[in-house]
Structure 1
Amino acid sequence: MIVVTGAAGFIASCLVSRLNAANFNDIVVVDNFAVEKKLPNLHGKKLREYVDRNEFFDWLDDNHEQVEFIFHLGARTDTTEQDRAVLDLLNLNYSKQMWQACVRYQLPLVYASSAATYGDGTLGYTDTEEALFPLYRPLNPYGDSKNDFDNWALQQEEKPYFWAGLKFFNVYGPNEYHKGRMASVIMHAFNQIQQHGSMVLFKSHNPDYTDGGQMRDFVYVKDVVEVCYFLLHNRTHSGIYNLGSGQARTFLDLALNTFNALGRTADIRFIDTPEDIRDKYQYFTEAAMGKLRSIGYDRPFTSLEDGITDYVQQYLVPGSYY
């Protein structure tokens, strides 16, 4: 059996689809299934069992001998969440409990970290200088919770026999219909263009960047799950890895490609960045991908152009799921 936590969410449900495509059908999905808006992400998938996240560790005590691998992708992913107690409970302490269970039962573990750990990028975006990890200053409590766990994991004397933390950069793609404000800019752009024929982007409040010239490392979710699938089969190099495309692109690039995928003439307008995130806004992110490449991952990453075209035309237009 393969366990996937956060399984009804965006990235994890896409991973379940990828596993099913490879004939892995004994999948135990773990989540808060009371959040009904996420449940369509799992419709039609081949699954062995649903386990509530609050009951999972009792379930694992009883079933660990049948478990082959754990993908721990469940978390509170709202980057605007200010309640540190919630983030400590769901992102930090739950992950510590998962780690300890994997040590106890010697189960391999892949868990979700985040590029939010890098803060404003002053110290760069390299995953090889682990001595810098305690020096990172994330820009929000969500980033703190992910950075706190990365540092805790590195300090542990007892570790799963294989483990990997993945610092996700700006992931976009199918199965994010439920995410609301936290959905990718591509999904917001699609909705605005369909409704109004135009879309808005945030103005730059940094003199080094033009409006729409803010840059992020956008990575297609299908590439993310390919890396997860690679780690399922390559369990020799534990550590923390960046997971982006390795190429920063502008939000203007993203917007123009969304219009192009819809066959529409671009009409882009700019609004002030909301004050609640303005001082915590990342203007540039780009994943250094050499560490992942060094352990044998050699698949090319999808270009922003190809990823947006696939996402818009194959999923958003028909309203379908991956």
Structure 2
Amino acid sequence: MSKFIVITGAAGFIGSVLANYLNFNQLDNVIIVDDFSKLEKIHNYDSLPYDRIERDQFIDWLDKHHNDIDTVVHLGARTDTTEFDYGVFEKLNLNYSKNIWNICSNYGIDLYYASSAATYGDGTLGYNDDIELIDRLQPLNPYGLSKNEFDKWAIKQINKPKHWTGFKFFNVYGPNEYHKRRMASVVFHGYNQIKKEGKIKLFKSHKPDYKDGEQKRDFVYVKDVIKVLFWFLEHRPENSIYNLGTGKARSFIDLAKSIFSAMNIKENIEFIDMPKDIRDKYQYFTEANMTKLHNIGYNNPFYSLENGISDYVKNYLIPDKCFEK
């Protein structure tokens, strides 16, 4: 029997899409980990045939069953960028992740984990995933800080997994994010606003360099994210930290227009004030430098913003469906 791939955060957004993708590709050697008591996520994983491990039992379980494990894909995290209590992130995003890293390192288990574009802060140093720059990054919120602290810690470790990679996810959108509430993508919220009110609300700009709605992000469709993760599982390339976006920044107005187009509804955009609690912690521009990922051989095309939103809206949001291949 082949050894297992373990996915943490498997009831969540990206983790559940990966688990379902592996199932569609007929991988039966998968174990999923999460807090399965949160029933709002149940549709993300209820059809999966895999064994489940509760998150608070996983560290002890992994240490005990290490001989049976090939790879851990660690996608479980606290991801609320509006939570400002660093202690919340320190427990799950930092200490929990360190425990997983140490066990994987001690027993020769490969580890792939989620970092974040939030580590780049306001982009003063650009969006280059050169690990030499990580010590100089200044995240804008405790979430980004926790992710950057783990990246810095991991790089400095002498004891490392044989194969390991951190992925700096940019603005991921797509099916299976319905449970994320305030932290769901602007695509998800925009679709629901248009469906209910016939219009979408976007944040005004509070910087003179940007017009309202011209703030830009690197929006990446979750299907592309999963294809990259699957490619890493197949090829086990050079250990490092990699950006995972599209490499193309697009405006929130572009995003809104794409949703209206997919819904076949006339455009109606309203600009609202940004909440004061996030105003000085808001990224006005992100764009992944994808050179390093391309240089190791990943050259598959990514969905354009228009095509990704069209697929998401027409095949998942309108019919109210979870991820399918």
TM-score exceeds 0.5: yes
What is residue 17 of structure 1 aligned with on the other side? 20
Q: Deviations over 1:9-61 (max 9, x none)?
A: 000000011111211122211111121111210021231x1111111122112
- What is the CA-CA distance between 1:81 and the residue it aligns to? 1.2
Distance 2:209 2:188 in 1: 27
- What is the CA-CA distance between 1:111 and the residue it aligns to? 0.1
**2:49 corresponds to which of 32, 46, 62:** 46
Distance 2:233 2:132 in 1: 27
Higher mean displacement: 61-70 or 4-13: 61-70
Counterparts of residues 72-83 of structure 1 (less than 5 Å): 72-83=74-85
- What is the CA-CA distance between 1:188 and the residue it aligns to? 0.5
Using the size of structure 1 for normalisation, the TM-score is 0.98
Q: Between Structure 1 and Structure 2, how many residues are aligned?
A: 320
Distance 2:237 2:192 in 1: 43
- What is the CA-CA distance between 1:278 and the residue it aligns to? 0.6
Distance 1:63 1:159 in 2: 19
Structure 1 residues not aligned, in runs of 5+? none
Aligned CA-pair RMSD = 0.8
Distance 1:246 1:54 in 2: 36
Structure 2 residues not aligned, in runs of 5+? none
Q: Deviations over 1:39-96 (max 9, x none)?
A: 210021231x111111112211232212121100000011111121110000000110
Distance 1:68 1:282 in 2: 37
Counterparts of residues 202-221 of structure 1 (less than 5 Å): 202-221=203-222
Counterparts of residues 154-193 of structure 1 (less than 5 Å): 154-193=155-194
What is residue 89 of structure 2 aligned with on the other side? 87
Which letter does structure 1 place at the counterpart of 2:181? G
Aligned residue for 1:281, secondary structure, equals coil
Which letter does structure 2 place at the counterpart of 1:118? Y
Runs of 4+ in 1 over 4 A off after TM superposition: none
What is residue 11 of structure 2 aligned with on the other side? 8
Distance 2:112 2:231 in 1: 11
What is residue 321 of structure 1 aligned with on the other side? 322
Distance 2:257 2:93 in 1: 35
**2:71 corresponds to which of 69, 72, 95:** 69
Aligned residue for 2:65, secondary structure, equals helix
User: Is 1:32 matched up with 2:35?
Assistant: yes
What is residue 286 of structure 1 aligned with on the other side? 287
What is residue 230 of structure 1 aligned with on the other side? 231
What is residue 270 of structure 2 aligned with on the other side? 269
Aligned residue for 1:68, secondary structure, equals strand
CA contact (8 A) 2:106 2:159 kept: no
Distance 1:267 1:140 in 2: 32
Distance 1:298 1:69 in 2: 24
Counterparts of residues 109-120 of structure 1 (less than 5 Å): 109-120=111-122
Which letter does structure 1 place at the counterpart of 2:105? V
Distance 2:38 2:82 in 1: 19
Distance 1:291 1:131 in 2: 13
Aligned residue for 2:138, secondary structure, equals coil
User: Is 1:251 matched up with 2:255?
Assistant: no
Distance 1:263 1:273 in 2: 28
Aligned residue for 2:287, secondary structure, equals coil
Distance 1:161 1:203 in 2: 47
Which letter does structure 2 place at the counterpart of 1:280? K
- What is the CA-CA distance between 1:125 and the residue it aligns to? 0.2
